[in-house]
Chains A and B, each alone.
Chain A
Amino acid sequence: MSFFSAIFDPAMPFVRNALIAGILSSILFGVLGSVVTVKRIAGLAGAISHAVLGGIGLALYLSAKKIVPGLPPIVGALVFALISAALIGLVSLKAKQREDTVINALWAIGMSLGIVFIAKTPGYADPMSYLFGNILLVSTRDLVMLAVLDIAVIFLAWRYYPQIEASAFDEEFARTRGVSTDAVFLVILGVTAIAVVLLQTYVGIVMVIAMLTLPAGTSGYFARNLAGMMAIGTLFSVAFSVAGLAISWGLDLPSGAIVVLVAGATFLAVSALRAGRKA
């Protein structure tokens, strides 16, 4: 059965959910990914996404040990994501000379905590599904949360577009025009943290940062402004998701990894073409 037949097969709702998740995620990858790219905070987003594993591991451990019965991993992930976003944000704003050290420390400590907690969790917990995602795990509740976050991100990007654009283009000038660039930065980090948690189900926490940068980076070659970058990035992301899901279905390969490979190959090809044209 082909991927496109499976989408309409009532016996396989998870395939349809996977496609819807891919499209809903694409809005975040396109819009939020463009902001992350032009603000040049992909490294910070990467640290947040990896620190999330600590929260997932802790939640699994507390739930399995009946300390907090029924605690869903996503709650632990959200708490860790927001705490690491706040720490990274404050360090970036207040102690720039130690920024790299602290960010890398959070990255490593979060992942290590996650592995330790998962190892000590009774029963079987597969860290691979969190690290690399499993599109088959996407539930209707996940889709609703993704849709709500999409709406919130689109609204914030529309309402505060001039502030986002100015603080990314020339932060000091934005401050002279009364823009609270620190607030813009912290809100972007916070929204990115929440998005990373929701998106990790799709491509996993290791590769979510790739999808937050590759579609936006590719669209940057074609867009004339930030809004165009967001729109084209979303379209690229939809294309990468559909193509990746179809290929992974056809070749029986991990979908998250294939989506990232399609996005990465396209980005490298466009970059090479551009570089060749300039030379």
Chain B
Amino acid sequence: MNLEIDRARQAEAGASEAAARDAHRAARDAHRVARDAHRVAVRFLGVDFAHREAEVLKNASFHVHEGEFVALIGPNGSGKTTILRLILGLARPGAGSIEVFGAPPELARGAVGYVPQSMSFDRAFPISVEEVVRMGRLSGTGRDCLKGGCSDVDDALAMADVADLRDRPYAALSGGQRRRVLVARALASRPRLLVLDEPTANMDEDSERRLYAVLGSLKGSTTVIIATHDMDFVSALTDVVLCVNGRGGEEAPGGVTRHASGPVERVSSGHYGGAVLQVLHDTDLPDDARCASCASVDPDPDPAAPPAPHGGER
């Protein structure tokens, strides 16, 4: 009889311990979700997108934390530019949800700087480098971007290493110089997120090195997403590699897969302006692979709780 009572008491105690553990785990998860939501710069959740009835994205889900340097890779036509356009609010998904800093993309535009892939422009358009960069401070119907003596414009010109070109006609620049001017334009609004579409396409080595030096100076303070069709290597600045599978992808067609990356022994000099990483296509990572690094930064309600599994790419 006593044995039975003891067993019953132990069972009761065990149950209450389990319940307490469950409650604690739930509280910790809720805290993580809340903390994660605060730190997430971009979140795609089950996004579908079709262009003229051709499916481009299918159930694409991923998220990017603030301060991360992200390489968005994929073959031509896989949907990289579509993803960037969705982030910028220039296109809307057919299904799923997209958040940029916790808000719909259209409402977060002020926090996002954009460097387009290739900008066809009228060479007869009379405009100086400074005026192009000033355009980056444009907001809706405002005229503030016209005000002279703006430190944001000066800083952006200096950061992108084009301060000495400020009075030159934009049409008179080389392709690499023009690309850096467009980076300066994107930086003029002091964005929290910088989005670049194939920034080094048709760029010479020196321009590429200068561009990546600019991006390196932003690392950690600004979230950077770079789309590139180079499937094998990414800049050593990269924290996260997201591979857009494309419609013909063998795995999760139309989706986005997180890949690991690792050091590489030999690459051609000047590639991405310096050190590079090799994309490890055979090593897929869960979408929360880098959420662990957030846990180490943020205060946790239970310091004794076991650390989240290590999932960083590097």
Contacts and interface: CB of A to CB of B under 8 A. Distances in A.
Interface of A: 38, 40, 159-163, 165-166, 168-170, 172-179, 217, 220, 223-226, 228-229
A110 to B, nearest CB: 28
A229 B169 CA distance: 14
A225 B119 contact: no
A223 B110 CA distance: 31
B90 interface: yes
Contacts of B110: 178
Interface SS of chain A: helix
Contacts of A162: 135, 138, 142-143, 145-146
Contacts of A228: 126
Given A169-B135, A178-B109, A163 B141 contact: yes
Contacts, number: 77
Interface of B: 88-90, 109-110, 112, 114, 116, 119, 121-122, 124-128, 131-132, 135-136, 138-143, 145-146, 169, 185, 189
A169 B109 contact: no
A11 to B, nearest CB: 45
B139 A178 contact: yes
B135 to A, nearest CB: 5
Closest 3 pairs between A and B when the two form their complex, measured CB to CB: A178-B140, A177-B138, A223-B126
Given A160-B141, A172-B90, A176-B89, A165 B114 contact: no
Given A169-B121, A176-B89, A224-B169, 12 more contacts: A162-B146, A163-B138, A165-B131, A172-B116, A173-B119, A174-B138, A176-B90, A177-B139, A178-B138, A179-B140, A224-B128, A226-B127
A165 B121 CA distance: 12
A225 B112 contact: no
A176 B169 contact: no
A173 B131 contact: no
Contacts of B142: 162
B122 A159 contact: no
25 contacts: A38-B122, A40-B122, A161-B146, A162-B135, A163-B138, A165-B131, A168-B125, A169-B125, A169-B127, A170-B135, A173-B114, A173-B119, A173-B135, A175-B90, A176-B90, A177-B138, A177-B139, A177-B140, A179-B138, A179-B141, A220-B126, A224-B126, A225-B127, A226-B125, A228-B126
Contacts of B128: 224-225
Contact of B119 (A170, A178, A179, A229): A170
Contacts of B141: 160, 163, 179
B222 to A, nearest CB: 16
A161 B136 CA distance: 14
Contacts of B126: 220, 223-226, 228-229
B127 A165 contact: yes
Nearest to A39: B122
B139 A38 contact: no
A267 B23 CA distance: 80
A220 B89 CA distance: 34
Contacts of B116: 170, 172-173
Nearest to A228: B126
Residue among B127, B128, B139, B185 facing the most chain A CB atoms (10 A cut-off) = B127
A225 B135 contact: no
Residue among A169, A173, A178, A217 facing the most chain B CB atoms (10 A cut-off) = A173
Contacts of B124: 217, 220
Contacts of B139: 177-178
Given A176-B109, A178-B109, A225 B131 contact: yes
B123 to A, nearest CB: 10
Nearest to B195: A176
B159 to A, nearest CB: 18
Given A172-B90, A174-B138, A159 B143 contact: yes
A271 B230 CA distance: 43
Given A162-B138, A162-B146, A169-B125, A176 B132 contact: no
Contacts of B189: 177
A174 B139 CA distance: 9
A27 B256 CA distance: 54
Contacts of A177: 109, 135-136, 138-140, 189
A196 B115 CA distance: 37
A4 B125 CA distance: 37
Contacts of A160: 141
A34 B119 CA distance: 21
